[in-house]
Chains A and B, each alone.
Chain A
Amino acid sequence: MKEIAVVAFSQSDCLAQAGAANEVELIMPQLQAVFGQVGLNNAQDVDFVCSGSCDYLQGAAFAFVAGVDALGAVPPIKESHVEMDAAWALYEAILKIRMGHAESALIYGFGKSSSGELPIVLSQQLDPYYLAPLWLDSVSLAAMQARLLLDRGLATERTMAEVVVRARRNAIGNPHAQVSGEFSLAELLAADTVVSPLRQSDCAPVADGAAAMIICSVEKAREWGVPYALLSGIDHRIETHNLGMRDLTDSVSTRQAATAAGAGRGPVEVAELYAPFSHQEIILTRALGLGNDTLVNPSGGVMAGNLMMASGLSRIGEVFRRIVSGDIARGLAHATAGPCLQHNLVAVLESA
């Protein structure tokens, strides 16, 4: 089976509102950036393209098809799309390469959530008979999950705020961050709740933007002569949609995915976790068994800005960047989808 190399990654700034920019205009600069990192012209120079997005975010039918205008798809290319975060588009692309159907692939994800009321839009991904008719929003669901943690003593409002303080401090070094800076625990805890027990600071700021990545076989990476990181393992698992039947204080699916991806076969120097709410980083850190020797979310994670449909791919991109720059030799990236961490993907990256 072919070994997978990550050779390029780029992410847009996280903007609360991308203003006039449409899908194509959000995607194109990131595609040009990753083509530039490898020395490619356009999508004609890779064997496969896969994207992740959700048209309901911006309410534009077939926005994902419009996105193809950014690729250079004449003559026609092999192209696919997942209605998910682009981390799952990466997964599809990896399968394509491992099956021998491609040597290289472009992956991108984008979202313009500012056009709609995201927490309400996301309510419509829930059970269509029992939950969607109630318009149960994503923030409220996360708040009930946080309460379970608080009630069981697995988190406190203080430990949740500590996640935010550290993330925003880390984000100071992230040029794409929407929110960053030095904040005190007292300052955060002094704020009122928005959907108790969550404060606004516990909720990752939702951002418009895009991210792109190029992967290939190790042989192709050598042929291109570009630095690369090995993507040594990837797996994803999903839990039941019935919230009442899940242990919302744990993330069994994350743990399973990490095991299957081989996370435990070496030290995890950096873990980039997709935790859209502060308490979810606590759940994920525990589920993955990460200790003090692992640096969690050195980019600030999505607390720096949550690019819906691209943040998962960006977590993998952040670990890739740290490996090719020589900062670390091995790291883990996580992506999530669905309410309360329902569906989780873990990828392990290592230096070549």
Chain B
Amino acid sequence: MTQAENLSQAFELGFTYTRSTGPVVGRFLSALRERRIFGIRASDGRVIVPPAEYDPDTAAALDEFVEVGQCGSIVSWCWVKQPRAAHPLQQPFAWAMIRLDGADVPMVHCVAAAAEEQLATGARVRVVWAEEPRGYITDIRCFELLGETVGETASPAGGSGAAGDLPTPGDVAAVTRIDAPIYLHYNFTAGAAPARFLTRIREGVLTGQRCPRCANVYIPPRGSCPACGVATDEEVVLPDKATVQSFTVVAIPIPNNPIKPPFVIANLVLDGANISFIHLMSECQNSEVHIGQRVQAVWKPEAQWTYAMDNIRYFRPIDEPDVPVERIGKLPITGWEG
């Protein structure tokens, strides 16, 4: 068994989700665009900011919006010495639970400050608005410190107290959905068994792995026999001849796929292997591709070989007799004699 290189590759896993806001969140976000902050009154009279859709105790739907102040007091905080790339502020900053004036339930946001020493529980803060509020929580760019400090429990009334001319979901102006771009960064590792396979294919060698229990040979190997649930350590070098187990002719363009339709993708079983993999077929009449057909790999020039299955450009038909369906996936490494 060859030693596995630790093959890894950085990649981004990302998608911009679209989220419906619903009426309560939508009204809150709509108001942010007007540089105003609204909470909602719970059944017990507490004002929750940002507003909750349902009462935390009774589960009743809530609808009494209350405007709150744009200043508040820090209930708790932490100091981020080394902001992460995803964080909203890239200088050292604080996260804080902030009870806005007129609110009872603290909200969490970031606080810009020059140094940790300036932060304190009870410190007074004020909203810093984004230059162009768009109906997102990040319309509150951050909070900044005011010079004063009040007791932690003090919560002076603020804001107009009434919902006033708050936009409703029926309004043209109301926010009803937000984009939520979530882009995460990873360093993907191939796994020990796939890494050994990829290391060998870089040298133009196809290696499967044999199950010690049922003797099935898997390529590409993943490190286990899924049928038996045991590790597959024994490596088997396989030829580059295969049999078509099934196929399809792709007639529609696939986004981001450079190959122009129509083209053939096929489930192919290498001689000596017991499970198929998917690859392309070419140098063939699409209409004549059939199950049991014999094919062989067409490799890229050696100088272009890398840790990838597409070192093989595609498989092309060869002049060998067809394999009967019941023999597909059961051929010896020595191939098919017909």
Q: How many residues on the A side are at the interface (Cβ–Cβ under 8 A)?
A: 64
Across the interface, do A140 and B137 meet the contact criterion of CB distance under 8 Å? Answer: no
**A282 interface residue per 8 A CB criterion:** no
Residue B303, interface by CB 8 Å: no
Contact of B121 among A25, A151, A193, A196 (CB under 8 A): A151
The one of A24, A117, A151, A242 that contacts B191, using a Cβ cutoff of 8 Å: A24
- Known A20-B4, A24-B191; contact A130-B137, beta-carbon cutoff 8 A: yes
In the complex the two chains form, is A133's CB within 8 Å of B227's CB? no
A68 to chain B, nearest CB (A): 7
Chain B 141-157 near chain A by CB (<8 Å), digits 1 or 0: 00000000000100000
Q: Give a binary string over A208-221; 1 marks a CB under 8 Å from any B CB, 0 the rest.
A: 00000000000000
- Chain A residue numbers with a CB within 8 Å of B77 are 144, 147
Distance in Å: Cβ of A279 to nearest Cβ of chain B: 12
Q: Is B306 an interface residue (CB 8 A)?
A: no
Which residues 288-331 in A have Cβ within 8 Å of B in the complex? none
A115 contacts B95, CB within 8 Å? no
Q: Mark each residue of chain A from 129 to 166: 1 if its CB lies under 8 Å from any CB of chain B, else 0.
A: 11111111100110111111001000000000000000
| Complex interface: chain B residues within 8 A of A243 (CB) | 97, 108
Q: Output the least CB separation between B159 and chain A (Å).
A: 17
Of A52-60, A81-89, A227-235, the one contacting chain B is A52-60
Residues of A within 8 A of B327 (CB): none
The answer on a CB contact under 8 Å between A69 and B192 is no
How many residues of chain B get a CB closer than 8 Å to chain A's CBs? Answer: 68
Nearest to B49 among chain A residues (CB) is A244
A191 at the interface (CB under 8 A from B): no
Q: Are B86 and A70 in contact (CB under 8 A)?
A: no
A28, CB-defined interface residue at 8 Å: yes
Would A147 and B223 be within 8 Å (CB), given that A19-B6, A132-B180, A244-B106 are in contact? no
User: Are A147 and B19 in contact, CB atoms less than 8 angstroms apart?
Assistant: no
B191 touches A20 (CB 8 A): yes
**Segment touching B, from A71-79, A257-265, A268-276:** A71-79
Which residue of A is nearest B52, CB measured?
A: A242
- Given the known interface contacts A73-B226, A116-B186, A244-B108, the answer about A143 and B78 at a Cβ–Cβ threshold of 8 Å is yes
User: Do residues B189 and A19 form an inter-chain contact, with CB atoms below 8 A?
Assistant: yes
Q: How far is the CB of B272 from chain A (nearest CB, A)?
A: 20
* Cβ-defined contact, A244 with B105, below 8 A: yes
Q: In the complex, which residues of chain A have a beta carbon less than 8 angstroms from the beta carbon of B88?
A: 134-135
Chain B residues with CB under 8 Å of A19's CB are 6, 189
Tell yes or no: A95 within 8 A of B by CB: no
Q: A21 to B48, alpha carbons, bound, how many Å?
A: 46
**Is the Cβ of B116 less than 8 Å from the Cβ of A144?**
no
The reply to whether the CB of B194 lies closer than 8 angstroms to some CB of chain A is yes
Most chain A C-beta atoms within 10 Å of own C-beta, residue among B78, B180, B194, B229: B229
Cβ contacts under 8 Å, A70 to chain B: 224, 229
Say yes or no: A135 contacts B81, CB within 8 Å. Answer: no
Whether B48 pairs with A242 at a CB distance below 8 angstroms is yes
9 A-B residue pairings within 8 Å (CB atoms): A21-B191, A22-B192, A25-B223, A129-B50, A130-B107, A134-B137, A147-B78, A198-B78, A242-B105
A-B pairs with lowest CB-CB distance, top 10? A72-B229, A22-B191, A143-B78, A59-B186, A74-B227, A135-B86, A42-B229, A244-B105, A69-B226, A196-B79
